Structure 1
Amino acid sequence: MASSKNVVFDIVGTLVGYEKLFEAIEERLGERLKEHGVGPASLFGYTWIEVAEREYTYLSMSGLYRPYATVFEAIFWRMLYKAGVPEPRNFANEEDLAAIMAGYKAMELRPGAKECVQKLRDAGFTVYGFTMGDISRVGGYFKAGGLDWPAENLLSCDTRGVGKPDPEAYRPLLNQLSVAGKPWFAAAHMWDVSAARRTGFRGAYCSVWESEPLTDLFGGMDVLSDGLPEMADKIIAASQ
């Protein structure tokens, strides 16, 4: 039986930040990228993430689902080419890519993430995670950050082979949790939380990753916040 109060979090980008990935790109390729007029590493990394999300989503929509990390790694050479590197496989090698992917696996919880989750748990919420990432990698972020997360409360799009933001990705969890009241979906990606909200969740958005909510584009939210602990406070207040 579901709890009467439930919050589902996006994980990567919301509770987990990308800084370690950007640091790995800078350490491994930063100076070489600058020689081609490409920088900073965080901009290259952001573009890589965003394009990978698009390709992941398009593959899922077209019936050829692939895990997100597989897509992210596969398009590395294309991203270098589109960034202005004319011969990407002469510019970087497999060892460079492996080092960057190690940084990807070493990403850390955002400041305030543990406090946010604890506030909700202390207020009687059951907290779930729903990620495009694979369970073992995402679970590793929690373990490394000292955040206890029950295995049964961590779910991945990989299980059903349907990627966010397809409404069918959110619907099974929505149906499971709605038996005890309308659940929340919380994210720092407006495309994610807005899709979940249109599917039937209450929506909570934190601007820690994107800065601009763009509600005129994505629609209104039940909760808007600048920080993760603040988001938890507002979810709790709105649920009373």
Structure 2
Amino acid sequence: MASQTSPKHIVFDIVGTLVSHEHFYDVISTRLGTALEPHNISGRLLGYAWLETAEREYTYLSLSGRYVPFAKIFQAIFFRVLHFAGVHEPRSVANEEDVEYFIQEYKNCTVRPGARECIDRLQKSGWTVWAFTSGDRERVKGYFNKGDISIDNEHIITCDDVGIGKPEIKAYERVKERIGAGKDESLWFAAAHGWDVSAASRAGFKTAYCTVLEKEPLEDVFGKTDVTADTLPALANKVIEAA
């Protein structure tokens, strides 16, 4: 067990965990709501399907040995998602200008309530806080700047940096190498995605899961985490206590 004087590191997922998708869903509903109504598609469900489909294709490509940045896949796949949603002529509902607008507004998503408190509490308790994201660095830095999150550029690691997408175990192992934590140091991974903490656990991290995004932990599917909490400040408290 690490002593109280041993360095402590915690790595956070960003989008979905510290940053909410709600603004992104709202702008889709506002801009396309009327056009989507005849197809019985809500802006929120379309936004969710778009994000999830892009993440799947991003992951599959990485697993196959072809790494493509998430941002490129995300922008390219929009009309395919509309097709699968049941819109026979996707470009009759939206155009490239709409897609570009949504991509820009995605950068304006905001940090979750309690996110700043969570990070500040850990840092004041002696933790070094890192970020590991499939998002691009400048977008993530923008989220942090607007939300007053004190994770500096040197502590942001992107999948683009390591050339491997989550949830490949090698991606988390690369993060461990970047951190350089010794065997006596506490090393944790925190996320609101069950698959993310599950993979991090198999890479050797202690894990902290927040239900703020997915609501249902589904431990029979993803396995147990070392700590689980419903809010980000509560997660910070439990990690500090556990360590």
Of the candidates 214, 221, 229, which is equivalent to residue 233 of structure 2? 229
The gaps in structure 1 that reach 5 residues or longer are: none
Cα distance in 2 for residues equivalent to 1:178 and 1:197: 16
**1:65 is matched with which residue?**
67
Q: Is the counterpart of residue 209 in structure 1 residue 208 in structure 2?
A: no
**2:34 is matched with which residue?**
31
Q: Report SS of the residue matched to 2:172.
A: helix
**1:42 is matched with which residue?**
44
- Residue 182 of structure 1 deviates from its aligned partner by 3.5
Cα contact 2:157–2:175 (8 A) shared by 1: no
Q: Is the counterpart of residue 102 in structure 1 residue 104 in structure 2?
A: yes
Cα contact 2:119–2:150 (8 A) shared by 1: no
- Residue 158 of structure 1 deviates from its aligned partner by 0.2
Cα contact 1:28–1:100 (8 A) shared by 2: no
- Residue 213 of structure 1 deviates from its aligned partner by 0.5
**1:14 is matched with which residue?**
17
TM-score (norm 1): 0.95
Matched residues, number:
236
In structure 2, give the amino acid aligned to 1:209.
L
Once the two structures are superposed, what CA deviation does each residue of 1:36-60 show, in whole Å capped at 9, x if it has no partner?
Answer: 1112x11111111111111000011
- Residue 103 of structure 1 deviates from its aligned partner by 1.6
Cα contact 2:36–2:93 (8 A) shared by 1: no
Cα distance in 1 for residues equivalent to 2:133 and 2:216: 22
- RMSD between aligned residues: 1.1
Cα contact 1:6–1:177 (8 A) shared by 2: no
TM-score (norm 2): 0.94
- Residue 177 of structure 1 deviates from its aligned partner by 3.9
Q: Percent identity?
A: 51
Cα distance in 1 for residues equivalent to 2:141 and 2:58: 21
Q: Report SS of the residue matched to 1:127.
A: strand
Cα distance in 2 for residues equivalent to 1:111 and 1:118: 13
- Residue 172 of structure 1 deviates from its aligned partner by 2.1
Cα distance in 1 for residues equivalent to 2:105 and 2:25: 8
Cα contact 1:24–1:99 (8 A) shared by 2: no
Q: Is the counterpart of residue 185 in structure 1 residue 192 in structure 2?
A: no
Cα distance in 1 for residues equivalent to 2:128 and 2:31: 40
**1:91 is matched with which residue?**
93
**1:54 is matched with which residue?**
56
Question: Residues 85-234 of structure 1 correspond to what in structure 2 (within 5 A)?
Answer: 85-175=87-177, 176-179=179-182, 180-234=184-238
In structure 2, give the amino acid aligned to 1:140.
G
Cα distance in 2 for residues equivalent to 1:26 and 1:42: 7
- Residue 90 of structure 1 deviates from its aligned partner by 2.4
The gaps in structure 2 that reach 5 residues or longer are: 1-5
Once the two structures are superposed, what CA deviation does each residue of 1:32-87 show, in whole Å capped at 9, x if it has no partner?
Answer: 11111112x11111111111111000011111111111111111000011111111
- Residue 178 of structure 1 deviates from its aligned partner by 3.1
Cα contact 2:120–2:150 (8 A) shared by 1: no
